[in-house]
Chains A and B, each alone.
Chain A
Amino acid sequence: DIQMTQSPSSLSASVGDRVTITCRASQSISSSLNWYQQKPGKAPKLLIYAASSLQSGVPSRFSGSGSGTDFTLTINNLQPEDFAAYYCQQHYSTPQITFGQGTRLEIK
């Protein structure tokens, strides 16, 4: 199984900050990597697919990069509504997809 490891597990930031979340795969997954945002009590929401493509309707302050084993999600100019949990997910080994353990982004 392909393991996905996110770092950090949690971080605190302020409105207007730029934050970066990292996701590492246990083996190369090309660009088969998605990012999701989940707010408390809500379903996950797809932000980024194919490592760097922005899902329709997602603000441009969200961006993704990387390929192979190392990936990043960057959020520029943090907004109050961005404080949530973020998950990476690989689909290289489809149908056996796996998620990272999540990163909780909190207000400082």
Chain B
Amino acid sequence: EVQLVESGGGLIQPGGSLRLSCAASGFTVSNNYMSWVRQAPGKGLEWVSVIYSGGSTYYADSVKGRFTISRDNSKNTLYLQMNSLRAEDTAMYYCARWHDYGGSPWRNYGMDVWGQGTTVTVSS
């Protein structure tokens, strides 16, 4: 079964650090684009970061320089290292797989597999 399971969330003080994990089963993380998407309480979805199959990484401006996305191929796991956390980072964090549906001249992508989410609360 294709599945993503996040862990690592919790209550952290402003300025602190946290590392989220996303363990995959049923497919290979390194063969796919993988993203983190977050949702603040009562709010909409916000893209946070993506790591390409080739290893390139990209971030939303709101987290650039503070968050780092990575993966461990041997563990088939995706990570999000979050430093210098702020109250506005409080959210449910989801990991998701990008599926490539092909297409020309632009590729068509959709996030077709999602984890259940892990909650991050930044508060003193």
Chain A interface (Cβ < 8 Å from any Cβ of B): 30-32, 34, 36, 38, 42-46, 49-50, 53, 55, 87, 89, 91-92, 94-102
Contact = CB atoms under 8 A, between A and B. Distances in A.
Contacts of B117: 43
A102 B94 contact: no
B108 to A, nearest CB: 4
Contacts of B46: 99
Interface of B: 35, 37, 44-47, 50, 52, 58, 60, 94, 96, 99, 101, 103, 106-112, 114-117
Contact of B103 (A50, A94, A97, A98): A50
B112 A55 contact: yes
Nearest to A100: B44
Grouping DSSP codes into helix (H, G, I), strand (E, B) and loop, the A interface class, with mixed when no group exceeds half, is loop
Given A99-B45, A102-B45, A53 B101 contact: yes
Grouping DSSP codes into helix (H, G, I), strand (E, B) and loop, the B interface class, with mixed when no group exceeds half, is strand
A37 B27 CA distance: 23
B24 to A, nearest CB: 14
B45 A46 contact: no
Contact of A101 (B44, B47, B111): B44
A41 B117 CA distance: 9
The listed residue with most B CB atoms (<10 A of its CB), out of A34, A42, A100, is: A34
Nearest to A101: B44
